Every structure is written in C-alpha cells, then in structure tokens.
Amino acid sequence: MNYRKCNPLYGYRWFAEGIKLFFSQPWPWLALVGVTLLLLLVLSFLPFLGLVGIFTLFPGIAAGFMLASRAAMDRQAINFQHLLAGFKTAAQPLLAVGGLSFMIFFVALIMILLGWREEFQHLVQLMQSDAPDKEVLMNAAQQLTQPSLLVLAVMLLLAIATWFAPALVLFRQAGARAAMALSFRACLVNFAPFLVFCVLLLLLDVATSFILRLLLLAAQSLGGEHVANAAAMVFTFPIFCGFLAILFAAAYVSYMDVFESKPNP
C-alpha cells in the first residue's frame, strides 16, 4: 500500500475540512463524541482493566468515526449506528490494534517505572504521609520530570502509529501490525503538514479557551461564583466534544489525502 507525501499546506486543508464536516451536522457529532467520552469515563473507573478496555476499544471506536466522516462527506446523515459500525466490519484487526498498542505502552511504562523505582517510591511515601511538606513534595515530583517526558514520548509514538491504522484496517483490510507500521511511516513522511495541522489545532484551542474564559467571567460578574461554575459545566463538555469531533473528521480527511485521493492540481 502506497502513501503520498503532501505539501505543508495540506495541514490547513485537514484542519479546515475537519471543521467543515463538524458544522455540517454539529448535533449528531456532539452526541456521538459525548457518548464515547462517557463510555471511556466509565471504563476509567475500573482499575487496570479499564485502561486495557480503553486501549483495546478505541481503534474500533475511531473506525466508527471514520465511517461517520465518510457519511458526512457524502452528505449522508450520521447516527449512533456509526459507533459500532467499525466493530461490525473488522472487529478482530481493530481489537488487535488496540491490544498491540496497550502492550507497547505497558512494557514501556514498566521499564520506566523500574528505571526510576526509588524516585517513584519516595514520591508515593510522601503523598501517603499525614502532612507532607509541599516544597519537599514538589522537589520529589521534579525528579520525575524525565520519566514523565518519556511516557509522553511513548504516547506520541503510539498516536503516530495509530493515526491512520483504523482507517487502513477498515478501508484497506490491513492487518494490525501492517496498519500501525504503515501509519507510522506515513505520518513521519508527512511531518510538515502534520506540524501545520497541530499548530492550527493549538491556536483553535487557545482561542476557544480565551472566549470561554470571557464568558465565565461575564457569568461570574452577573450571577456570582455559582452561576460561573454552572456555566463552566454547561459549556466546557460540548466544546471539548466539538474539538474531538473536528479531530476525528480531520483524521479521515488526512487519510483520504495520504492514501486514497489524487493530489490536487
């Protein structure tokens, strides 16, 4: 399976098309992402098994969003059936992508924990003490800066390996390992457009956070702290859902440009 190297301006195209697909059917998008987040939140309360479930199920859920994005691009209605559509089409390889991702993350995490075992134990002991000294606690946490960055690096590498993987499994019938390897290579080759895309996402996040902050300050001045807290609960969750919906839609657009569509003249 061949992939295409896109010029940096494609990052803007992915960003713009993701927003366009979201606003074509905003309420169904918000509902789909909201239900997904609630499901993942429930799983997160389960010790260890919840983490396994999140890693294992997420590629299948992402595949459902790829199908929803394709329907939205074809001007068809999206609905809750899209959440499970990926599992119905290619359950085994999608679950394999999730399982392989978890294994890589778990092994890397164990190695990091073993490498900084004494530092982690010291921090846990301080947190479990009756009255931990805040300065000592902060110093202990700072000693774990390097392993924390390593964990973030592992998560970034996994994100690269799984960005295109659900779509490749779904639309190209690729196996789990082949899809992750191909996704990793295609993302590296298209580093420039992904950099543009990430910068635009960051700017959107900053602008949205600034507007939300202004709204909360206005609510606080008009109705007090309780009204501001209620407004935060009302606005924050749908805004976050919309942001993730744009991300899913942009992922589909980027897949089409890198693997399916002919380059624009």
pLDDT tens digits, residue range 122-151? 666 666 666 665 666 666 666 667 777 888
Flag whether 220 is in a domain: yes
Flag whether 106 is in a domain: yes
Residues 6 or more apart whose CB falls under 8 angstroms from that of 72 comprise 21, 24, 25, 29, 78, 249
Flag whether 236 is in a domain: yes
pLDDT score, position 212: 85
Flag whether 14 is in a domain: yes
Flag whether 171 is in a domain: yes
Q: Which domain holds residue 231?
A: 10-259
Phi, psi of 79 (to 5 degrees): -150, -175
Q: Considering the entire predicted model, what is its pTM?
A: 0.88
pLDDT score, position 213: 86
| Cα gap 134→137, rounded to integer Å | 5
For the chain, give the mean pLDDT.
Answer: 88
In the chain, the N- to C-terminal Cα span, in Å, equals 22
pLDDT score, position 141: 63
Domain count, the chain: 1
- Please report which confidence band the pLDDT of residue 265 belongs to, taking 50, 70 and 90 as the band edges: very low
Flag whether 195 is in a domain: yes
Flag whether 5 is in a domain: no
Flag whether 265 is in a domain: no
